[in-house]
Amino acid sequence: MENKIAEEEPKPRPRIKKAKGHGGHHGGAWKVAYADFVTAMMALFLVLWLVSQADMKLKQAIAAYFRSPGVFDTMQGGILSQAKKVSKEPDTLTSKDDEQVLFSIAQTLQKKFESRPEFAKIRDRVKIEVTEEGLKIQIVDKAEQVSFPSGSAKLTPEAEAILNEIAAAICGLPNQINIGGHTDSRPFSTDDNNYTNWELSADRANAARRVLESNCVKPEQIRRIVGYADTEPLVPNDPFAPANRRISITVLRLAAPATTTGLANDKNKTVVDDKIEKEKQILEKSSPLPQKNDANSNSSKISNTDEKKLMKTKLQNDGAVVVGTPDKTPEKPRDK
């Protein structure tokens, strides 16, 4: 009996003794965290190095590019408050920097006109493109929406609102600006026979100039105000199309690229000027005026009628009436 009890008593469990490792602190878990730390530090110093190498003008141009347009920016802000710093030193600006600024204006203006509800009905009247000459912005007419009443050079409220947005966009730029007025081929009838589509288109361009200057565009930025009449239709197949009536605003590049077209225009301009000079000499010889006794006035002058003939010849050859700066028409035709 005692033997059975002894057999039934539980046997003690064997104890498992774990041997302590001598290199536990040399495990691999810490290596993962250390690798992440080293990678992050490498990325940080790489970014710092790239930022230090980038030109300040380039960084400002990039900042202006990614700047989201606000709701009706103030006149002094506009979409190029950053570009104002970019263009402080135009002599050191490269053509690439200028290209970036122009594209930034074009894209931001396009976003403004597409996203703002107040421009929903007139947004398709604004044509924006970057050309070799610069940033060209055109405000075209539609059958039911016009920039000026018929035969008038007074802007409609809608057209003035568009011009205000354009002025805010180009505010602060050192670039010079060309403004052109265009009409359709419909004859302009008025009591004054001397007032034609030439004068009307020039007056409309001048009206656009006043709006730009009433914002923050400087008067010295206006390089040229041109009245084209109907000589450059937007729709050549339909000379009476409403789209031919438009105002064009060109923000010129700081460094205009030399093109074969520009050279050809210079040659044509020289030929036209030579023709006018020859005609002037012929008129002087055919109808000499009495000379004054003053020794300093030995050359004869051309009469007003002959001067008008020269103006007409200039218009036919140049295809534009060039209006001088603020509200004054030059006494003599200037080069286009």
**DSSP per residue over 214-236, as a string?**
HTT--GGGEEEEEEEETSS-SST
Residue 97 within a domain: yes
CATH number at residue 235: 3.30.1330.60
Of 306, 230, 314, nearest to 269 by C-alpha is 314
Task: Evaluate whether residue 291 is within a structural domain.
Answer: no
The token pair at 135 is: 């940033």
pTM: 0.51
Residues in the chain: 336
Residues 170, 83: Cα–Cα separation, whole Å? 9
Render each residue's pLDDT in the chain as its tens digit; 336 residues: 555 555 566 667 777 666 555 555 556 788 889 999 999 999 999 988 887 877 777 776 767 666 644 433 333 344 334 444 444 444 445 567 778 888 888 888 888 888 888 888 887 899 999 988 999 999 999 888 899 998 889 999 999 999 999 999 888 888 999 999 999 988 876 666 778 899 999 999 999 999 999 988 999 999 999 999 999 999 999 999 999 999 999 999 986 544 434 444 444 444 445 555 655 555 455 444 444 444 444 444 445 455 545 555 555 555 544 444 344 333 444 443
Number of domains in the chain: 1
Residue 314, domain member (yes or no): no
With respect to residue 61, please indicate whether it lies within any of the assigned structural domains. yes
C-alpha separations of 70 from 77, 118, 168 in Å: 10, 14, 12
The residue range of the domain holding 249 is 56-255
User: Sign of the CA dihedral 148, 105, 321, 263?
Assistant: negative
Query: Looking at the domain assignment, is residue 276 inside a domain?
Result: no
* Residue 178: inside a domain: yes
